[in-house]
Amino acid sequence: MPVLTKRLRDWENPRSITAEAAAEARAAVYGGLSDPLSPIKPASALLPQCGNARCRSGWMKLWRSRQSPVLEGKWACSQACMQEMVLAAILREAGEPGSQGMHQHRVPLGLVMLSRGVITQEQLRCALDAQRKAGTGRLGEWLIRQKAADEEQVTRALSAQWNCPVLLGAPHDPVAMAAAFPRLFVDSFGAVPLRVAGRQLLYVAFEDRIDRCLVLAVERMLGLKVEAGLLNGSEFRHLQRQMLRAVSPIIRLLEAANMRGLVHAFAAMLEERKAVRSQIVRIHDYFWLRIWRGAAVDSTSGLPVAGEVEDMVCSLAERDALQALP
Ligand SMILES: [Zn+2]
């Protein structure tokens, strides 16, 4: 079939053609003459404009839903534009400090407890020896095991070391909190969402250190302020187990071979799931895409309901993929 005919056939069936094909078809039809469609950029007061800053489409795309897909408040007029928007979001996240630059100097736990008179030099030396011989376990655990301190004293010393509060474990409703962030983070990063105060302050508990990278990422993802603090070991582990058992949002885990794979995976998910709202943030080496499929929220916490959101968490197989970016 001659190219022009084929293009004209496609032209009659706009659902099957891409923006590029449409542009080519217009060029083929109008040649050097002025294209009657080209002045009609989708500049409309009623219809949303494409969120891709580099969108080259002059095509109205009347068949495409205007409600979705939406990434970070911006609608994409085509799959190609969605991919460019995803790439821009990933590059922005890659430039975030992440876990680097967040390590401040901290006084060693043993010294904090020594200076507070909780333990003696002798007890500290004993615990450090045991830790060294065993080659495992945290100092606080050894102090508790050797009965030099109790759990509460260790947690209070850790909170001084990390300059954060000791939180109360109750009230805690694992079902309502399950959609705060993926279960993977509860498990791998040791973070437990506890409760939301006044629909704007999310309490997140850790056991023996604060993951500031996770705190910042969750704040940006949910648009809530996060108050991070510690819980004593046994209470933390109990609540963590409850969280891991609660029904949580569907999550897809993926290791992308490279940046292109990551962009494709996120863009495809946004298109396929018809996201009405979505956000990309980075936590350590993971990119986390959350998609809202509806607006329903838990009436007390204001957090999304587990069935209304879906997560995709993606890491990059190529270690240098982020450094190699332009
Ligand atoms: Zn566009």
Q: CA–CA separation, 77 vs 68, rounded Å?
A: 9
Nearest C-alpha neighbor of 38 from the set 21, 22, 58, 23: 58
78 Cα: distance to centroid of ligand 1 (angstroms): 6
85 Cα: distance to centroid of ligand 1 (angstroms): 9
Segment (H or E) for 279: strand 277-283
Among all chains, which residue has been given the structure tokens 């250190």? 209
282 Cα: distance to centroid of ligand 1 (angstroms): 25
So what's the pLDDT on residue 20?
55
51 Cα: distance to centroid of ligand 1 (angstroms): 7
So what's the pLDDT on residue 322?
59
So what's the pLDDT on residue 38?
42
Please list the rounded mean pLDDT of every run of 10 residues in the chain (326 residues).
38 40 44 40 62 78 79 91 93 73 76 92 94 91 92 93 93 91 94 93 95 94 94 95 92 92 95 92 94 83 85 84 54
177 Cα: distance to centroid of ligand 1 (angstroms): 36
Q: CA–CA separation, 66 vs 53, rounded Å?
A: 17
16 Cα: distance to centroid of ligand 1 (angstroms): 17
So what's the pLDDT on residue 199?
86
Architecture category of domain 164-248 in CATH: 2-Layer Sandwich (3.30)
So what's the pLDDT on residue 57?
75
Q: CA–CA separation, 134 vs 274, rounded Å?
A: 52
288 Cα: distance to centroid of ligand 1 (angstroms): 23
40 Cα: distance to centroid of ligand 1 (angstroms): 14
71 Cα: distance to centroid of ligand 1 (angstroms): 13
Nearest C-alpha neighbor of 96 from the set 272, 301, 280, 293: 280
What is the 8-class DSSP label of residue 304?
Answer: B
So what's the pLDDT on residue 213?
92
303 Cα: distance to centroid of ligand 1 (angstroms): 31
Nearest C-alpha neighbor of 249 from the set 282, 194, 195, 298: 298
Strands (E), 43-133: 70-71, 74-75
55 Cα: distance to centroid of ligand 1 (angstroms): 4
69 Cα: distance to centroid of ligand 1 (angstroms): 12
Residue spans per domain, the chain: 1-39, 44-102+249-326, 109-162, 164-248
Kindly tell me the burial class for residue 284, based on how many C-beta atoms sit within 10 Å of its own C-beta (0-12, 13-18, 19 or more).
middle
So what's the pLDDT on residue 70?
93
So what's the pLDDT on residue 107?
87
79 Cα: distance to centroid of ligand 1 (angstroms): 8
So what's the pLDDT on residue 323?
55
Helices and strands, counts by H and E, the chain:
12, 9
52 Cα: distance to centroid of ligand 1 (angstroms): 5
Kindly tell me the burial class for residue 288, based on how many C-beta atoms sit within 10 Å of its own C-beta (0-12, 13-18, 19 or more).
buried
242 Cα: distance to centroid of ligand 1 (angstroms): 44
252 Cα: distance to centroid of ligand 1 (angstroms): 27
274 Cα: distance to centroid of ligand 1 (angstroms): 16
Q: Is the Cβ–Cβ distance between 275 and 69 less than 8 Å?
A: yes
